[in-house]
A and B are shown apart, each in its own frame.
Chain A
């Protein structure tokens, strides 16, 4: 079953979802390493990260969210308890609770901050996943194998950022259009931002970054001194979400 499933995924062109990657940082699993071919144009990194220039990000714009959710077949469910989100907006006090203070700059206080999976250096979700359905890839992306997810939601309890959503219902019923470029999910699995691993594999940058007309979102490799993210972080002060937890978030907010 294992091998046939992987074969199917390979045929379907989805092996980039990371089945071949070394699974979990905390294990010495000696699983079978499937072979798969990679696109020559594929973007390769050692530690993918994102910098968000908060001042450039317009309050009333949701282009990045729309592009991401459309491209990844994220269902639109209005009930807050059951909604699915990969990127969403959060106020400063919720996004950066320990960094809030009285007399916070007005432009920040009620600004909708764009938040997503932090692709942590020490991801707590990976630590608790009992089936290795979620794992950290060598390029830093915290990925999910939806087929392995048993819907226990331990990752959701462990993630301090609320970056994960659970499909309480069949998400396909909540899709107006279905993108052929990304698989839809079934009921009973968790999902979250995948840093557009499927696009990096064919040489494209993440959808949210591409969609941002203001160029507020910058994507790149932290290990590459010439990468755009590295260049910005060399000069600008940035904050991260809940840094004291030791998760090592790789989404940086230039404020």
Chain B
């Protein structure tokens, strides 16, 4: 080898990549690769600094995740008890042969519906669980879950009110408003689009007033807000309803907008004024419930109604509760009353924040096929009746219960085997201790992941999966572009890792399905870019796109949700039965469920402050997204753990009588479980509420105490009438012993 060749070999290459984790951003990353090893990760270097898509601390720490010593490198089989995590290396052949044998056995003994399949983790176009689902469908099908653990409240609300999920503005529009109300929204932590925090910064520089309504002074509140309005969890809707009361009483609502674009305001007004039920929803009424002073509610109602434009940002967190959809529906009612829909600087609310530019819902993928195990179910297209959706599927937060109870409890199947293609179910669903029993009740479990996650510890066969840096794929921003990204392969797979796509193909091969997939990675990605309408519209040259790693869409002006519908309603009706924004929904009225009323209402519920259980468990529990993980991904990354150790937030008012000092190890418990965690004593959370970030890995000791601090050992496996996982409706107690 000549000296020159050597130099070339030692040269540092820069590979344009993005992560594909389930986080709020999708950040262009520059992976510096030397001798086949990533030696440095840098963020976006786009020439115009105003338009840079800057990575957060997670993106900067990926190197310690990709090269984590605990990465799974080989297929493993279980050698200990379920949950113990004792595994032994085996070959891919042995792993797949075992799986195929068990698939046949389960199918022949119990039928296909006894196979449960679900996934999550790599949000790409090609290397997803789609092919695996297709192979299993060809095998006769499987049972899966319905819904998204994060967002069913908002989805139900926007489908009821607008009939459309694209309810966001492009984030640059935040700079056009005069008032931002962050209602439970903490974008600094969960990001809400890579360009979001920069846009908030610009709003702040413009002098926009920013208010944070939250039980905690969140990182976003601390960073941007001029005012923090603390509120009791689960009572947001009560405060919103009373703001509507103030607006109606003082005639501040935009009546012309309501008359032209909405139906059902009168029915909402009857409820607000107490004509319907004899209870006037005054600020005094709300103050008793939500803990916000009457003057603050009144002032905010006036300020929101009279500031033009004003941007109410509801989100998904407060909606992950027992009556979650009411919060988003009521936020929609407020932004409708103030006429802020379809206009720059306003907002459509609804919590989803998606825009139809580069949205992950519109990504490409290998065509799927119908799951035969779901045949014969009712038509669910467009329905607001959750029960119809649960005829053939299991609610996402009820999977454990379904494993244990099966058909006799009304679930669609008696599950005997589960295949988890990513998606760390043993930290990311409610009531994890029930999950422990449920997982132990199964006959056979497969898990595929990068690490021996709490879920994988229960599996009979564990398959090692590549990180995003080990393959080429098209990735998408979470709820908002406007841009498209190409994640280039930077390094060879670690150990014998395969991608989810490759595992799907391998299963098909083992099951004997010929010609299942004859395309290479590059062929597929080229097909996606050519055939997917959105890629085809913007990407004229695949190789340039691959080289650049990103395509930034030029927008003449910010994208505003429902602009067409507002500017020209005659030709652009809303996608609802009435063609208007439905504050009152006839479709919901037909369900005749008092807990799911046709107009948004505040409804008291189980495990709120009115529950007699308060005597035993007097603290409300929150479980927000962490800043140092993407849900349960990035656990154990030393750099990230260093900046924010896992802890329970507790107010000094609650800490002192319990003898809890900052940094003490405490136990948080209720009837569902008990966990050990350090206490962070802080005035940044209101008295009576404690908070533990979700995603920490479940790690029970011999007594069943979770030493990992997984908040979901305390949460309930329940869902709201609209389908929201009720993970933020939970009461707990804290002690030092």
Contacts and interface: CB of A to CB of B under 8 A. Distances in A.
B639 interface: yes
Interface string B385-403: 0000000000000000000
Given A28-B680, A131-B57, A132-B643, A154 B662 contact: no
A157 B204 contact: yes
A153 B642 contact: no
For B57, B197, B645, B678, the residue with the greatest tally of chain A CB atoms inside 10 Å of its CB is B57
A29 interface: yes
Contacts of A150: 43, 54-57, 60
A131 B678 CA distance: 20
Contacts of A188: 43
B56 A152 contact: yes
Interface string A102-128: 000000000000000000000010011
Interface in B50-105: 54-57, 60
B25 to A, nearest CB: 12
Contacts of A27: 644-645
Nearest to B663: A28
A154 B54 contact: no
A168 B48 CA distance: 9
Interface string A26-37: 111111000000
B544 interface: no
Nearest to B221: A128
Interface string B621-651: 0000001000000000011001111010000
B57 A158 contact: no
Given A150-B57, A154-B188, A128 B219 contact: yes
B57 to A, nearest CB: 5
Nearest to A155: B223
Contact of A28 (B188, B638, B678): B678
A157 B643 contact: no
Interface in A127-148: 127-128, 130-132
Which of A127, A152, A168 has the largest count of B CB atoms less than 10 A from its CB? A152
A153 B627 CA distance: 16
A168 B55 CA distance: 15
Given A2-B639, A128-B223, A152-B54, A157 B201 contact: yes
Given A28-B645, A130-B56, A154 B197 contact: yes
A132 B639 CA distance: 11
B190 to A, nearest CB: 12
B301 to A, nearest CB: 26
Given A128-B219, A157-B224, A29 B642 contact: yes
B445 to A, nearest CB: 36
B201 A153 contact: yes
Contacts of B643: 29, 130-132
A158 B644 CA distance: 19
A152 B54 CA distance: 7
A29 B57 contact: no
B166 to A, nearest CB: 28
B24 to A, nearest CB: 14
A156 interface: yes
B222 interface: yes
Interface string B185-203: 0001000000001101100
A30 B372 CA distance: 54
A151 B638 CA distance: 21
Contacts of B223: 128, 154, 157-158
Query: Which residue, A130, A132, A168, has most C-beta atoms of chain B within 10 A?
Result: A130
Contacts of A2: 638-639
B627 A130 contact: yes
B57 A156 contact: no
B222 A124 contact: yes
B219 A29 contact: no
Nearest to A82: B49
A130 B628 CA distance: 9
A26 B682 contact: yes
A128 B200 CA distance: 15
Question: Most chain-A Cβ atoms within 10 A of its Cβ — which of B198, B223, B644?
Answer: B223
B201 A130 contact: no
A151 B54 contact: yes
Contacts of B204: 157
B684 to A, nearest CB: 8
A27 B43 CA distance: 27
Contacts of B642: 29, 31, 132
Contacts of B219: 128, 130, 154
Contacts of A130: 56-57, 188, 219, 627, 643-644
A239 to B, nearest CB: 22
Interface in B369-423: none
B637 to A, nearest CB: 12
Contacts of B224: 157-158
Given A128-B188, A168-B49, A152 B60 contact: no
B192 to A, nearest CB: 14
Contacts of A28: 645, 647, 662-663, 678, 680
Contact of B201 (A29, A156, A168): A156
Nearest to B40: A1
Contacts of B43: 150-151, 188
B49 to A, nearest CB: 5
Nearest to A30: B645
B437 to A, nearest CB: 35
Interface string B155-197: 0000000000000000000000000000000001000000001
A92 B647 CA distance: 43
12 contacts: A26-B682, A28-B680, A29-B642, A130-B219, A130-B627, A130-B644, A131-B60, A151-B43, A154-B188, A168-B49, A169-B49, A188-B43
Question: 8 closest Cβ contacts across the A-B interface?
Answer: A28-B663, A128-B223, A154-B223, A168-B49, A157-B223, A130-B57, A128-B222, A158-B223
Given A130-B188, A153-B198, A158-B224, 18 more contacts: A2-B638, A26-B680, A26-B682, A28-B645, A28-B647, A127-B222, A130-B219, A130-B643, A132-B643, A150-B55, A151-B43, A152-B54, A152-B56, A154-B188, A154-B223, A156-B201, A157-B223, A168-B49
Interface of B: 43, 49, 54-57, 60, 188, 197-198, 200-201, 204, 219, 222-224, 627, 638-639, 642-645, 647, 662-663, 678, 680, 682
